[in-house]
Each structure stands twice: as structure tokens, then as C-alpha cells.
């Protein structure tokens, strides 16, 4: 009874303390809760688990992590290991992650989750040797035999920060070990990492497109690389050789027809879909959505008109079409009918875009101000704030962006998205020191934010001569997001600035393969000149002049570059 009363006393004290208004007051204790009286050490687990749960409830993640690791030898709750392991990665505390991984495997030696975390944390920490050790143990202990078994591991790596390590690790393993099931899961991971060239390379290595999922991944990767006709041919061939229809692949093929302006192919495919399943509103909606996404607004609206029953998704799509077709009153009416909470937020943000066109930017900003007052959830408020900034950015109102983001920023808990938006506005106004200050603040909050690392590095390369520092920042961003065309472009440009023209060409070609953005095109042309690749340069200029014939300013820049080519 004495022990029981002591436990109640300590538990009640903790709960009272946890209600303190100041979080720091609740945790002015040692790393391990002090045990009173003659309580046996068997209660240590209870006390520390309780303490950690309270810290987690109050979002004191760092405190929870510290207490957990300090007392890890007596903690055996699998649920806590799941929660704290994620926190250690979110805080980039890889030293503690390794401690947790080692102990978790001892606590749950037959758990796939413990091994998955161990592999994941080792790769993020660039400890390839340890990752290999855990991976071999994972295979022996879990004994995965098919794609489903490996997919559990691969899925756990989707959000790894150091993606380049993950890619290199599995590519090295697969080069030495034939493992079809793992290869299939790894290809899906590459696609999720936005690495279409690597997806195609690995599917080609397998030497077979007999599996439906591989066909779809291959075709979608071709699309990402602007090889649209090849993607079309692949999906057409797949459908022709099937005994039954495949609705999802048909939808994807329809998107390609729309992209290629192949109206005949699109009409035949739509007719076939409707003949097999007439008057299905889901089919009509999906077809209309695909047509909208490919800028076929009138055609999209034509099919939507066939849907009799009204729902939120249909109203939202009708609003989007009317906005693009200049029917602003109708667009707002459709958006106002949306009631689902999440879709309602989207509809309200789209309404602000309509108001810009119908009533002006000031009315749109005021409309979003009202939504910020109406909705109490911080995440929703932030979405409206960022929409305001996005609208101002479209009109190049950079001083207004700075004023607005400064008003919203909370000095006690700075918002990285608002800081980033303000930094980009500072850059447009050539306030480089202020831009750098805000971006560094973002990196103090999230030191592995690839977009911020790239933005800071690229800006330094453009506005200063700190090229080596810029390269380090951009290359670190590349480790975390190796599939980003923007980061590859930045790497190419900073290498150009450093005089490393061969390396610059390697990066800019990879970027141009993925994205035909006009700034990337101009960088590519200038780097080709430095590499004296004049024939390739002429081809690129000819291609881009045809592609952008309606942009006088851009074509003038291309012609100026063309004039620099030696005879």
C-alpha cells in the first residue's frame, strides 16, 4: 500500500505540473524522474513512460527524446519507440537515432519496424556500413520473399532526408544481388523521389514490361521527360494486348492524347469508355478532370454538363472551368456550393483568384483577410496567408509581400513558410542581406530544407561572388532532393560561375531533360557556348524558338545567344 500511495502521489504531482501555463515550468526536473521513498526500481518504467507521454502531449518533443534516451535501458513500450524514433529523425538527432535503433531491435527482435528504422536512420546519417549490417539482419530475421514484404521497407524510406544515400545504397546492393522483388519496390521508390531517368534505367535492366505497374511507371516517367509520343505508344500497346479493359491506364492514355492535342484518339477512347459503362458519373467526372488539367476547358465543361447529380467535387471543377473561361460570376456561384471542409478551403482560395480578375487584387486580399478571421485552425489560416502572398507575387508587389508577411510573423515561433516568402520578396528587391538573414532563420528551424538551401545557394551565386559557399549549399540540397530540376539547374549555374564548364553541362542537361523552364533554357545555352558545343546549341535554340514563338522577349534573348555562335 505504501508503494501504491507513493505512485499516486507522484502521478498526481506530474499531472498538476503539466497543467502549468508555461511549458518550461512543467519540466524543471532532472532527466530521470526522482523516485521517492522505498519505491522499487520496477516502477521506473512507469514513471518515465508517464513523463514522456506528458511531454509528447505538450509538444515538448526534444524533452521527450532526451528523457527517452537517458532511460532507454528500462523502457520497453513499442508504441513509445515508434513515436520517439520519428521525433529523433525530425530533429535530425542521428546520434540518438542510432541509440534508439540499437535498443529497439533488442526490445523487439522480430519487429520489421525496428529494423526499418535502423536502416532508415543509418542512411540519413550517411553510415552506409551500419545500414548494410542492419539490412542483412533484416533479411535474415524478417525473411522477405515477395514485393509486398519489401514494399514495407521501401515505404518507410519515402520521407528520408538524404535521398541520394538511399538510392546509392540500393543500387549498389542490386548490382551485386539479383532480387526481382526488391527491384520492383525500389523502382516505385525512385518514382516517388521524382527520378524518372533512373526508373526507366532500372526497368530496362529488368528487361520486361509484362507487369502492369511497370508499364505505368515507365509511361509516366517518359511523360516527366517530355517523351510524350513514346508514352502514348507504350500505353496503347499495353491496352491492345489485354483481354479486358483497364480503366486507370485508359485515363492515363486520355491525358496523353489531350497533351498531344490528339482529338481523334481522345474521342475514340472516350467513346469506348462510355460504351462499356454508359452514364457513370464517376467516368464523366474523371474524363472532365483530365481534360481540364490539359487545358481543354470547353471540352471539360461539355462532359461535366452530362452529370445530373451535384456534389462538391463537380462544383469545384465547374468553378475551375468557368474561371479559366472567364465566367467569373458562375465560377463564384459554383465555389459557394462546396460544403466539404477540405474542399471548401480550396474553393475559398480559388474564389480569391476569381476576385482578382473581377474586382481587383485589393478585394481578393480583403476576402482572404476575412477567411483568416473566420477560421481558427492555424494551418488553415496559414494557407490563406500564403494565398495572399501568392496573389501579390503574381503582380510583383514585393513590398506588399514584405509588409504582409512581417505582420503575420510571430517572433516567438517564426513560421518558415512566411520567412521564405519574405526572403524571396527581399531578393526581388535586391535586399540580399535581408534575404540571407530570413533564409538562415528558416534553416535554423529546418536545417535540411532542400528548397531553402537551394534558394540561398542560388541567390549567393547570382548576387555575390561567394561561389564555393553557394555550391556547398546547393549540393547539400541535391543530396536531399536529387530529382529536382530546379536544384540541378542551380548546380549547373554555380559550376558555370566557378568556371567548371564540363560539370556545369552535366547538371544543366539533367535539369533541361526534366524541365523546359525558360531560365533553365537560357542557362543551358550559355553553358553550351562555354563547352563549345555549337551544333547542340543550334538545335536547342531552333527547338525553343518554335516552342516559344509567342514570347517575343524570350525569343529575342535566344536570338542574341544565337548571334554569339562562331561561324
Give the model confidence (pLDDT) of 6-38 as tens digits: 333 333 444 434 444 444 333 333 343 333 334
Residue 112 has pLDDT above 50, yes or no: yes
What is the length of the chain?
Answer: 567
Q: Cα angle at 495 between 492 and 499, to 5 degrees? A: 135
Secondary element (H or E) of residue 383: helix 378-394
Quick one: which of 42, 43, 106, 49 has its CA closest to 75?
A: 49
Distance linking the first and last C-alpha atoms of the chain: 98
More confident of the two residues 323 and 32: 323
Residues 86-105 have a mean pLDDT of: 93
pLDDT at 88: 94
What is d(CA 255, CA 220) in angstroms, rounded to the nearest whole number? 11
Residue 72 CA to residue 82 CA, distance in Å, equals 13
Contacting residues for 113 by C-beta, under 8 A, at least 6 apart: 78, 81, 82, 104, 156
User: What is the rounded average pLDDT of the residues 557-567?
Assistant: 89
Q: What percent of the chain lies above the pLDDT cut of 90?
A: 75
CA distances from 42 to 7, 38, 45, 51, 79 (A): 12, 11, 7, 16, 19
Alpha-carbon distances, residue 522 vs 36, 487, 531, 545, 554 (angstroms):
71, 15, 14, 12, 9
Model pLDDT, residue 35: 35
pLDDT tens-digit series, residues 356-403: 999 999 999 999 999 999 999 999 999 999 999 999 999 999 999 999
Residue 116 lies in a domain: no
Q: Are 514 and 485 in contact (CB under 8 A)?
A: yes
**Residue 410: pLDDT above 80?**
no
377-394 per-residue burial string, b: 16 or more CB within 10 A, e: under 16: eeebbebbbbbbbebbbe
pLDDT value at residue 32: 39
Among 42-46, 164-168, 275-279, 393-397, the minimum mean pLDDT is found in: 42-46
Residue 264 lies in a domain: yes
Q: Does residue 249 sit within a domain? A: yes
Q: Which residue did the predictor score with more confidence, 512 or 78? A: 512
Max mean pLDDT among 41-55, 340-354, 551-565 falls in: 340-354
* pLDDT tens-digit map of 324-359: 999 999 999 999 999 999 999 999 999 999 999 999
**Residue 210: per-residue pLDDT:** 78
More confident position, 483 or 4: 483
Q: What gap in Å lies between CA 440 and CA 146, rounded to an integer?
A: 45
Q: Is residue 397 a part of any domain in this protein? A: no
Q: What percent of the chain has pLDDT over 70?
A: 91
Q: Exposed, middle or buried, 108 (CB in 10 Å: 0-12/13-18/19+)? A: middle
The number of distinct structural domains making up the chain is 2
The string of DSSP letters for 199-260 reads: HHHHHHHHT---SHHHHHHHHHHHHHTT-HHHHHHHHHHHHHT-SS--HHHHHHHHHHHHHT
Where in the sequence is the domain holding 255, given as residue range(s)?
194-309
pLDDT-derived band at 53, boundaries 50, 70, 90: confident
pLDDT bin (cut points 50, 70, 90) of residue 44 is low
pLDDT tens digit string along 133-162?
A: 999 999 998 888 888 888 888 988 988 999
| pLDDT interval class at 43 (50, 70, 90) | low
Smallest Cα–Cα separation from 168: which of 215, 111, 128, 118?
A: 128
Confidence band (pLDDT; 50, 70, 90) for 41? Answer: low
Mean pLDDT of 475-491: 96
- Checking if the pLDDT of 297 tops 50, the result is yes
Distance CA 288, CA 300 (A): 4
- 195: closest CA among 231, 234, 164? 164
Cα(61)–Cα(64) distance, integer angstroms? 5
Report the C-alpha gap between 37 and 10 in whole angstroms. Answer: 11
Q: Is 155 helix (H, G, I), strand (E, B) or coil?
A: helix
Of 309, 341, 366, the position where a domain reaches its end is 309
What does the pLDDT look like over 196-253, one tens digit per residue? Answer: 999 999 999 988 787 899 999 999 999 999 999 999 999 999 999 888 889 999 999 9
Q: Is residue 352 part of a domain?
A: no
- CB of 494 within 8 A of CB of 461? yes
Specify if 469 maps to a domain: no
For residue 224, give the nearest of 258, 259, 189, 248 by alpha carbon. Answer: 259
Q: What is the C-alpha to C-alpha distance for residues 216 and 98, in angstroms, rounded to an integer?
A: 38
Q: Among residues 254, 289, 309, which one ends one of the domains? A: 309
Residue 381 lies in a domain: no
Query: Is residue 358 one of the residues assigned to a domain?
Result: no
Q: Mean pLDDT of all residues in the chain?
A: 89
Q: Which residues of 421-437 are buried (b: 16+ CB within 10 A; e: fewer)?
A: bbbbbbbeeebbebbbe
Domain boundary among 309, 331, 365: 309
User: What pLDDT does residue 159 have?
Assistant: 87
Of residues 49 and 540, more confidently modeled = 540
- pLDDT tens readout for residues 497-548: 999 999 999 999 999 999 999 999 999 999 999 999 999 999 999 999 999 9
State the CATH number of the domain containing residue 222: 1.25.40.10
Chain center to CA of 471:
22
Amino acid at each position: 500500500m505504501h508503494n501504491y500511495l507513493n505512485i499516486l502521489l507522484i502521478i498526481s504531482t506530474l499531472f498538476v505540473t503539466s497543467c502549468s501555463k508555461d511549458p518550461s515550468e512543467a519540466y524543471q526536473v532532472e532527466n530521470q524522474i526522482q523516485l521517492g521513498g522505498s519505491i522499487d526500481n520496477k516502477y521506473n518504467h512507469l514513471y518515465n513512460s508517464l513523463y514522456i507521454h506528458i511531454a509528447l502531449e505538450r509538444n515538448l518533443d526534444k524533452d521527450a527524446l532526451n528523457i527517452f534516451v537517458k532511460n532507454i535501458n528500462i523502457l520497453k513500450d513499442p508504441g513509445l519507440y515508434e513515436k520517439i524514433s520519428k521525433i529523433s529523425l525530425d530533429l535530425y538527432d542521428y546520434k540518438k537515432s542510432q541509440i534508439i535503433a540499437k535498443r529497439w531491435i533488442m526490445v523487439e527482435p522480430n519487429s520489421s519496424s525496428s529494423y526499418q528504422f535502423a536502416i532508415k536512420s543509418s542512411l540519413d546519417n550517411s553510415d552506409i556500413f551500419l545500414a548494410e549490417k542492419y539490412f542483412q539482419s533484416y533479411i535474415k530475421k524478417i525473411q522477405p520473399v515477395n514485393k509486398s514484404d519489401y514494399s514495407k521497407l521501401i515505404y518507410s524510406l519515402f520521407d528520408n532526408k538524404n535521398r541520394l544515400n538511399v538510392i546509392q545504397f540500393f543500387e549498389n546492393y542490386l548490382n551485386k544481388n539479383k532480387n526481382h522483388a526488391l527491384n520492383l519496390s525500389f523502382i516505385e521508390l525512385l518514382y516517388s523521389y521524382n527520378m524518372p531517368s533512373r526508373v526507366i534505367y532500372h526497368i530496362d535492366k529488368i528487361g520486361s514490361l509484362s507487369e502492369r505497374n511497370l508499364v505505368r511507371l515507365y509511361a509516366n516517367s517518359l511523360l516527366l521527360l517530355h517523351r510524350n509520343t513514346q508514352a502514348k505508344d507504350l500505353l496503347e500497346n499495353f491496352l491492345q494486348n489485354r483481354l479486358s479493359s483497364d480503366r486507370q491506364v485508359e485515363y492515363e492514355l486520355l491525358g496523353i492524347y489531350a497533351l498531344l492535342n490528339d482529338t481523334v484518339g481522345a474521342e475514340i477512347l472516350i467513346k469506348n469508355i462510355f460504351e462499356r459503362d454508359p452514364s457513370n458519373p464517376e467516368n464523366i467526372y474523371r474524363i472532365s478532370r483530365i481534360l481540364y488539367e490539359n487545358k481543354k476547358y470547353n471540352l471539360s465543361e461539355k462532359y461535366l454538363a452530362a452529370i445530373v447529380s451535384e456534389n462538391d467535387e463537380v462544383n469545384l471543377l465547374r468553378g475551375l472551368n468557368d474561371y479559366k473561361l472567364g465566367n467569373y460570376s458562375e465560377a463564384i456561384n459554383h465555389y459557394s456550393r462546396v460544403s466539404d471542409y477540405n474542399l471548401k478551403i480550396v474553393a475559398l482560395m480559388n474564389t480569391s483568384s476569381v476576385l482578382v480578375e473581377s474586382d481587383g487584387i485589393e478585394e481578393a486580399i480583403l476576402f482572404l483577410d476575412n477567411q483568416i478571421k473566420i477560421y481558427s485552425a492555424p494551418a488553415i489560416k496559414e494557407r490563406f496567408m500564403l494565398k495572399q502572398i501568392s496573389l501579390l507575387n503574381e503582380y510583383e508587389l514585393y513590398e506588399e509581400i514584405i509588409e504582409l508577411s512581417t505582420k503575420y510573423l510571430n517572433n516567438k515561433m517564426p513560421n518558415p513558410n512566411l520567412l521564405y516568402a519574405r526572403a524571396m520578396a527581399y531578393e526581388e528587391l535586391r535586399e540580399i542581406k535581408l534575404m540571407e538573414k530570413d533564409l538562415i532563420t528558416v534553416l535554423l528551424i529546418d536545417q535540411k530544407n532542400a528548397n531553402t538551401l537551394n534558394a540561398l545557394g542560388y541567390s549567393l551565386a547570382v548576387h555575390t561572388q561567394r561561389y564555393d559557399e553557394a555550391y556547398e549549399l546547393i549540393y547539400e540540397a541535391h543530396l536531399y532532393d536529387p530529382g529536382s530540376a530546379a536544384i540541378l539547374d542551380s548546380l549547373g549555374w554555380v559550376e558555370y560561375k566557378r568556371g567548371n564548364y564540363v560539370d556545369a553541362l552535366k547538371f544543366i542537361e539533367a535539369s533541361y531533360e526534366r524541365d523546359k523552364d525558360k531560365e533553365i533554357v537560357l542557362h543551358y545555352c550559355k553553358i553550351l557556348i562555354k563547352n563549345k558545343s555549337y551544333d547542340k546549341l543550334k538545335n536547342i535554340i531552333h527547338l525553343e524558338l518554335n516552342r516559344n514563338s509567342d514570347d517575343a522577349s524570350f525569343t529575342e534573348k535566344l536570338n542574341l545567344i544565337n548571334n554569339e555562335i562562331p561561324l
